[in-house]
Structure 1
Amino acid sequence: MASWGKLTFAQKKCVSATGKLMQQTDMVSPGARIGIAASGGVDSFLMLKVLSIRKAIMPFPVELMALHINAGFDITSHTPLVDWCADHGIAAHVELTNYGPRAHTEENRRNSPCFYCSMLRRKRLFELCRDYGLTHLAFGHNADDNVVTFFMNILQNGRADGMAVNEPFFDGKLNVIRPTMLLDKKTVIKAAKQWQLPVWENTCPSNGYTKRDEVHTWLRQTWKHDKRIKNNIFNAITRQQVDLTSKKV
């Protein structure tokens, strides 16, 4: 038996679907050094666990490093992540910032707190990738996130576009990847609970009150009484984004 033990159906789905997407889009190559944007939420923690398994399965060597930017609402919330990475032999960079509180002050007059904080954290993640010589930055977005982003772009920007699965930045020096984009949120949550991942609560005062939350609520109402609608939307948007990415690489 493998070192990670026997997997449940949900866990197997997470590992296999992630591997399928990585192969389909040529997501990584030998010697890849992957920075994992680990927020401490269920999505990024699940991705961290799955990539640690896929690393052992891959026919070539890759390196993993967890990158956590604490937004500053709870200065000790990242402790479970630090302990988990130490127990699993994964390198980690954890950094405490004041990005969250700053996003809710007069400093941020033009944007939503979520957008401003996210922008600051992403900029810092890019800097860390440069400083550590990382070749990839992985985000734990799933199929649900892709669908919501697609409709947000239609409603707010007039653009029919979701999230890229594999996208080059800085003239190809860094690739932003989303290995778990084929997974639905329900499967992610179920597998994370079965692995007993030490996920912690998001204490941001804007959590649950963002434009993204509004769009997600609207979508849930749309497919509430017909599961086929949800499946068709997910399949169409996921297929489109994976196909677009496949053509680029």
Structure 2
Amino acid sequence: MASWGKLTFAQKNCVSATGKLMQKTEMVSHGSRIGLAISGGVDSFLMLKVMMIRQAIMPFPVELMVLHINPGFEPESHTPLVDWCAQNGIPAHIELTDFGPRAHTDENRKNSPCFYCSMHRRKRLFELCRDYNLSHLAFGHNADDNVVTFFMNIVQNGRVAGLSANEPFFDGNLQVIRPTMLLEKKTVIKAAKQWELPIWKNICPSNGATKRDEIHDWLRTMWQTDKRIKNNVFNAITRQQVDLTSKKV
């Protein structure tokens, strides 16, 4: 039996769907050095677990490194991640910032708190990728995130676009990847619970009250009476975004 043990149906789905997307988009290659942006939430922690399994399955070597930017609401919240990484032998950079509290002060008058905080955290992640000579930065976005982003761009920006599975930044010196973008949120949650990942709660004051939450609630209302609507929306947007970043043969 493999070192990760016997997998449940949800866990197998996560591992296989991630592998399928990685292969279709030629996401990584021999010697890739992948920074995993881990917030401590269910999506990113699930990605971390799945990517460790994929690392063992891949026919070529890749390196993984955890990158955690603590926004500063609870300085010790990342302790479970530190312990988990140590137990599983994965290198990690853990950094405490004040981005979250600053996003809710007068310093940030023009933007939403989420935009301000995420902008600063992403900038810092890019800097860490440069400092550690990483070739890839991976985010744990899933299919639900892709759909919500797609509709947010239509409503707020007049743009038809979701999330890219594999996208070059800085003249191709860094690839931003989303290995778990084919997974539905419910599958992510189920698999994460089965793996007993030490996820912690998001205590940001804006959690649950953002424009993204509003769009997600609207979508749930739209498809709650007919599951086919949800499946069709997910499939259409997922296919479009994956096809945009798939390698042509």
Are 1:127 and 2:91 counterparts? no
SS in 1 for 2:217: helix
Whole-Å Cα distance in 2 between the matches of residues 157 and 95 of structure 1? 32
Query: Which runs of structure 2 are paired with 1:78-89 in the superposition (5 Å)?
Result: 78-89=78-89
SS in 2 for 1:167: strand
CA-to-partner distance for each residue in 1:29-76, whole Å, 9 max, x for gaps? 000000000000000000000000000000000000000000000000
Runs of 5+ in structure 2 lacking a partner?
none
Contact (CA 8 Å) 2:165, 2:177: kept in 1 or not?
yes
Return the letter of the residue paired with 2:130.
Answer: R
Contact (CA 8 Å) 2:85, 2:92: kept in 1 or not?
yes
SS in 1 for 2:22: helix
Return the letter of the residue paired with 2:142.
Answer: N
Whole-Å Cα distance in 2 between the matches of residues 151 and 247 of structure 1? 25
Are 1:11 and 2:49 counterparts? no
Question: Could you tell me how far 1:154 is from its partner in structure 2?
Answer: 0.4
Question: Could you tell me how far 1:190 is from its partner in structure 2?
Answer: 0.1
Return the letter of the residue paired with 1:45.
Answer: F
Whole-Å Cα distance in 1 between the matches of residues 30 and 172 of structure 2? 16
Whole-Å Cα distance in 2 between the matches of residues 116 and 163 of structure 1? 19
Whole-Å Cα distance in 2 between the matches of residues 248 and 193 of structure 1? 37
Task: Give me the TM-score of the superposition, normalised by structure 1.
Answer: 0.99
Return the letter of the residue paired with 1:62.
Answer: V
Counting aligned pairs with the same residue, the percent is: 81
Q: In structure 1, what is the equivalent of residue 72 of structure 2? A: 72
Contact (CA 8 Å) 2:24, 2:247: kept in 1 or not?
no
Question: Could you tell me how far 1:215 is from its partner in structure 2?
Answer: 0.1
Q: In structure 2, what is the equivalent of residue 107 of structure 1? A: 107
Whole-Å Cα distance in 1 between the matches of residues 194 and 74 of structure 2? 26
RMSD: 0.9
Are 1:50 and 2:30 counterparts? no
Query: Which runs of structure 2 are paired with 1:1-249 in the superposition (5 Å)?
Result: 1-247=1-247
Whole-Å Cα distance in 2 between the matches of residues 150 and 209 of structure 1? 19
Question: Could you tell me how far 1:246 is from its partner in structure 2?
Answer: 1.1
Return the letter of the residue paired with 1:212.
Answer: R
Question: Could you tell me how far 1:248 is from its partner in structure 2?
Answer: 7.6
Return the letter of the residue paired with 2:214.
Answer: E
Whole-Å Cα distance in 2 between the matches of residues 5 and 75 of structure 1? 34
Return the letter of the residue paired with 1:109.
Answer: R
Runs of 5+ in structure 1 lacking a partner?
none
Whole-Å Cα distance in 1 between the matches of residues 185 and 191 of structure 2? 10
Residues 135 and 248 (structure 1), Cα distance of their counterparts in 2 relative to 1, 3 Å cut: farther
Whole-Å Cα distance in 1 between the matches of residues 248 and 153 of structure 2? 21
Please identify runs of 4+ aligned residues in structure 1 that moved more than 2 A. Answer: none
Aligned residues: 249
Question: Could you tell me how far 1:99 is from its partner in structure 2?
Answer: 0.2
Question: Could you tell me how far 1:247 is from its partner in structure 2?
Answer: 4.8
Whole-Å Cα distance in 2 between the matches of residues 134 and 247 of structure 1? 22
